[in-house]
Amino acid sequence: MHAPTPVATESAGGHPARKWLRWSFYLLSAGLVAAIAWGLSYIVREGGGSLPVLKQAPGFQAQDLDGRTVTLDTLRGKIFVITWFYTHCPDVCPLTMYRFEQIQDRLRASGELGRQVVLVAVTLDPARDTPAVIRTYAGHFHADPRAWYFLRATPAQTAAMLRRWGIVTESGPKGQIGHTSQVDLVDENGNVRAEYVGADLNPDRVVQDIQGLIERMRWGV
């Protein structure tokens, strides 16, 4: 009589292949959780994720230097930084434009200029700031027309935009226009996420806020 053939049984640890698959799943899950946590902490750390929604950006309609109409809906899907200027401005406007040039250079270096972010400058003085005058002015700041939009509108449209955006102006005796030195950061959904003072604009801070918003878009939060 032959002894019964022993039946193979799995040890408590299971088959080696199954055990490896199980550990691989645990490691992948842990890695995914860690990646998400890192991404969220980056967003908060870099600023964009912690920027509150201040308000819905007011609608506007203006034309670029080639006569194309630009509206808030035109810019939807991109982050943009918007400010107000006039070419005869002797002080705060050129300083703000210089800061915009620095922001442009940093965004170009990181590959985000135009693709995800654009800059917008709207004239307060459409009567004197013709497209030709603005084009020359923009050239002083090496503005990239594909990603830095200089806009002008009719006097009535300009007045309506200034009112909606809360820009206060005051005409001087020699053609000067005193105005609110305001810069707004608007996200891809048309929400104002930050407001800065043009005279004190810090390009590094603005770019940091922009990149935080880009990371938030990437992670869908």
Q: How far apart are the C-alpha atoms of 213 and 43, rounded to whole Å? A: 8
Residue with tokens 């709207």: 122
By the 10 Å C-beta count (0-12 exposed, 13-18 middle, 19+ buried), 99 is classed as buried
Q: How far is CA 170 from the centre of its chain?
A: 30
At residue 100, what is the residue type? F
**C-beta separation of 135 from 66 below 8 A:** no
Q: Which stretch of DSSP H or E encloses residue 181?
A: none
Does 89 appear as a known binding residue?
Answer: yes
Q: Are 130 and 98 in contact (CB under 8 A)?
A: no
Say whether 206 sits in a helix, a strand or coil: helix
Is 15 marked as binding a ligand? Answer: no
Cβ pair 81, 206 in contact under 8 A: yes
Whether the CB-CB separation of 44 and 51 falls below 8 Å is answered with no
Provide CB contacts within 8 A for 139, sequence distance 6+. none
93 is in an annotated binding site: yes
Extract the annotated binding site.
Answer: 89, 93, 179
Annotated binding site for Cu cation: 89, 93, 179
